[in-house]
Amino acid sequence: MAAGVLDAGGAVPAAAYSGELTLSVLVTCLVAASGGLIFGYDIGISGGVSQMKPFLATFFPKVLMRMADAKRDQYCVFDSHALTAFTSSLYVAGLVASLAAGRVTRWLGRRGVMLMGGALFFAGGAMTGGAVNVAMLIVGRMLLGFGVGFTNQAAPLYLAEMAPPRFRGSLTVGFQFFLSLGILIANLTNYGTARVPWGWRLSLGLAGAPAVFIVVGAFFLTDTPSSFVMRGKVDRARAALLRVRGHRADVDAELKAIVHAVEAARGSEDVGAFRRLVTWREYRPHLTFALALPLCHQLSGMMVLTFFSPLVFRVAGFGSNAALMGAVILAGVKFASLILSTLVIDRYGRKVLVIAGAALMIVCQNYCCFVIKVANAWIMGAKSGKHGEVAMPRAYSVALLVLTCVQGAGFGMSWAPLIWVIPGEIFPVEVRSAGQAVSVSVTLGLTFVQTQTFLALLCRLKYATFAYYAGWVAAMTAFVLVFMPETKGVPLESMGAVWAGHWYWRRFVGGGDGKPEQRR
């Protein structure tokens, strides 16, 4: 389907939008995307800190005692609800904040919410770095979580609304680019501080450092044209468009489409955005993907492996420093694969990335399971290690690292960026904040469940954990290939035409003539 803008008088082709990659739009998107740097740092830092002996001695001495027990089942050494709460508390707080962020975003705009998120990040980093007991540790992580909820809701929307349609995929991936960079920086920080008794404080405290960049940078940003129009500031919306599209650009067509979309949304303002999203038939596909995309992202298994990769590598036979270096290598591979996806997402589309990434993940997850099975059989046959208490032979440990990295590359080029790109572009303006809030809150809610249960799952399923996640990847990929429309290069204001042209979703968003309709 040709990309067009649904306007009062018909369709305006996407080519009518004079949006080029100006310096202003690049700088604007760069600052907004840096919110991912803070989130990525918090994702990557917890797993490495959780296996540092000075940190465990201070807050979780029972786990340290298990590590010293040579007869202990190595799959279950880190199975501690208190320890996982250190990681997962951030995400349950983020869930609460993201639900509130949808309404706050409509009041304050995308820029104001990013400022709030940055301030909360700074406060959370200071508290976790200076924690003297578990309570301070958890409260600090929750402050970071509130920052995650606000920033993750606002930044992808900001990027999607400011980017020219032709380059929206690549620019929106910038959020995941910085997220992956944050994970890599966190793992490098852990590797460097692990040899210092107070190194864990430095690792946790530095979470507040990237917040300074987004807080300072946000003061120099303009809000999005859609946000200005929703608050009745059409003149400022036009000025914002000229700033990011260039003063020689003809922005009238884009502004007209935005105003028309907002006016159509105001026609049903008597019903709240969340209620419309959940109960109105025409928003059924949007609600489905607001729920399904986070589910696909989380059940790939790569997010919890990102959180706990140093612990998993310890179980696989790596020493403490080697486990941290393994986490650094994995983060580096994912970062490199993300650069590849940034280059191709607007050329080949979203679904191509899903297919390529899923193929790598499914194959490597099953081979990871195979490597661990063979290694365990080798150990049991040679040294009678029934529960992983004997270290995995080095050759198998290296093979596991390689396969995990290839699997990480598949994730880095597919689900990692798409979880931020697609939700930011599929929702119509009247439910865009609510839809993004639902998507982010479901993501963070599932992250909480995953982080709280992964170590227990590893303890019980052992190497079969990899096969469990591989099965989910296969099922989710099939769902996306059948039901997700391609959104490459489509202006946000014409996304309704994409749903109306889909073989399945058109029965919800349009009547027999393909025109959108509002049905409860």
Summarize pLDDT for 273-331 with one digit per residue, the tens: 778 888 888 889 988 988 888 888 888 777 777 777 777 777 666 777 788 888 888 88
The whole-angstrom separation of Cα 475 and Cα 435 is: 24
Rounded CA separation 170/40 (Å): 18
Choice among 35-44, 263-272, 423-432 with the minimum mean pLDDT: 263-272
Query: What mean pLDDT is predicted for residues 7-16?
Result: 42
* pLDDT tier for residue 385 given thresholds of 50, 70 and 90: very low
Give yes or no for a contact between 346 and 489, defined as CB atoms under 8 angstroms apart: yes
Q: Distances in Å between the alpha carbon of 133 and those of 85, 120, 139, 402?
A: 14, 20, 10, 38
14 pLDDT above the threshold of 70: no
Burial class of residue 254, CB neighbours in 10 A (0-12, 13-18, 19+) = buried
Environment class of 484 (CB within 10 Å of its CB; exposed 0-12, middle 13-18, buried 19+): buried
Domains and CATH numbers, the chain: 23-223+269-383+390-506 (1.20.1250.20)
pLDDT tens, position by position, 402-430? 777 877 777 877 777 777 777 777 888 77
What is the token pair recorded at 40?
């990525």
- The dihedrals phi and psi of 77, each to the nearest 5 degrees, come to -60, -40
Q: Tokens standing for 518?
A: 């509002």
pLDDT in tens, 203-231: 998 887 878 877 887 777 777 888 888 87
pLDDT digits (tens, 9 = 90+) for 248-267: 777 787 788 888 877 766 65
Question: Residues 501, 507, 512, 514: is their CA dihedral positive or negative?
Answer: negative
Cα 502 to Cα 255, 497, 505, distances in angstroms: 27, 9, 5
**Cα–Cα distance, 389 to 72 (Å, whole number):** 6
Angle subtended at Cα 174 by Cα 128 and Cα 449, rounded to the nearest 5 degrees = 50
Say whether pLDDT at 70 is over 50: no
CB-CB neighbours of 377 under 10 Å: 10
Burial class (CB in 10 A: 0-12, 13-18, 19+), 30: middle
Query: Residue 17: which pLDDT band, with cuts at 50, 70 and 90?
Result: low
Residue-level pLDDT at 252: 80
Bridge partners, residue 516, by sequence: 510
Out of 163-172, 254-263, 309-318, 363-372, pick the least confident: 363-372
Q: What is the mean predicted confidence (pLDDT) over 475-481?
A: 82
Per mean pLDDT, which of 59-68, 184-193, 510-519 is the most reliable? 184-193
Band of residue 202 on the pLDDT scale cut at 50, 70, 90: very high
Does residue 4 carry a pLDDT above 50?
A: no
